[in-house]
Amino acid sequence: MNITRSGGIAAIALVGAIALASCAANEGGETEAPSDLSGTLVGAGSSAVGAAQETWIAEFQTANPDVTITYDPAGSGAGRETFLAGGSDFAGTDRAFKDEEIAAGGFASCAADSGIVQLPLYISPIAVIFNLEGVDTLNLDADTIAGIFAGTITSWDAPEIADQNADVELPALAITPVHRSDDSGTTENFTDYLAQAAPEVWTYEADGVWPLPSGEAAQGTSGVVDAVTNGTGTIGYADASRAGDLGTVAVLIGEDYVPYSAEAAAAVVDASPFVEGREDFDLSIELDRTPDSEAYPVVLVAYLVGCETYLDAAQAELVKAYFTYMASAEGQAAANEGAGSAPISDALFERVTAAIEVIG
């Protein structure tokens, strides 16, 4: 995807005081303009976006040395609860706040009657990861993935798997599915894929809480990755940036098996509509998990969530600055390099930039 947005970056001059330009030397190349930002920002939420947050925070604090940002990757559910209670200035969540949650209000860091800004700033494939000796990749359709996690396909040499992987020697080994134990946006995105793409096999609604008692449960993205890595015949799901050396699944789309990639994940996002009835600064996306072209449908979009109007104007300035950086070509490229995420498209960038404008 093209992340050269000269026109869009010019628009970010709206935050002159926000001063990411402080990173740039003057024309003579002699000195750098000092940042006038100072203060502390607290964020919490999605563990999937943790690696990107580490990169973003390091880069932003280098440009703005008087700013301190902390981010607790406690999980999307915990992040939403913390933001709602006023324990953080912004949240990271792998699913946007729902209509009923927004209507209930009570966002303690926001001014009375303030809306919330929800920006899709992190797009990443969810990898279906497995640990099977001698096997690096498998081809699976949605029904088979759903059957494995629903517990109806229980052995690695089951015909549903073998028929799609004729050149792979599969053992007669029990499958151990691993799922998140916490309320997780990654789980909600994964179960949304199963519900949309394999409705006859996966009969549960999309939810951040795993709906079945079977399988092995693990806390957070790291817990799932560790459980799959340390097990035998294990399979799980995690942000693709954490797949490491584990085996991964290519998903059947049409007549082709599509492996995960940032570009294939971004293709699904760009083809999906925004949720109807939301404010212009709420860019929640209704993901279409059944593409008819070569896109990777097991994808999560992490939203950075803040107040339209903050109780504290100084915090509003810091949030606006940080959100502006994360959305910029520089910030998106840093996340791509540090976490393997897909840079947002030019069209989405323009919408995000307009939404950031309202923060105050």
Residue range 282-334, pLDDT digits in tens: 999 999 999 877 789 999 999 999 999 999 999 999 999 999 999 999 999 99
- Joined tokens for residue 75: 């999980």
Q: Which of 80-94, 148-162, 192-206, 334-348 has the lowest mean pLDDT?
A: 334-348
Rounded Cα distance between 310 and 303, Å, is 18
Cβ contacts of residue 242 below 8 Å, gap of 6+? 48, 51, 127, 221, 222, 225
| Among 77, 70, 21, 85, residue whose Cα is nearest residue 45 | 77
pLDDT tens for residues 53-100? Answer: 999 999 999 999 999 999 999 999 999 999 999 999 999 999 999 999
Residue range 230-264, pLDDT digits in tens: 999 999 999 998 999 999 999 999 999 999 998 89
Which phi-psi region, left, alpha or beta, contains residue 295 (left: φ > 0; alpha: ψ -120 to 50)? beta
The pTM assigned to this predicted structure is: 0.79
Query: What is the residue whose two structure tokens read 């703005």?
Result: 64
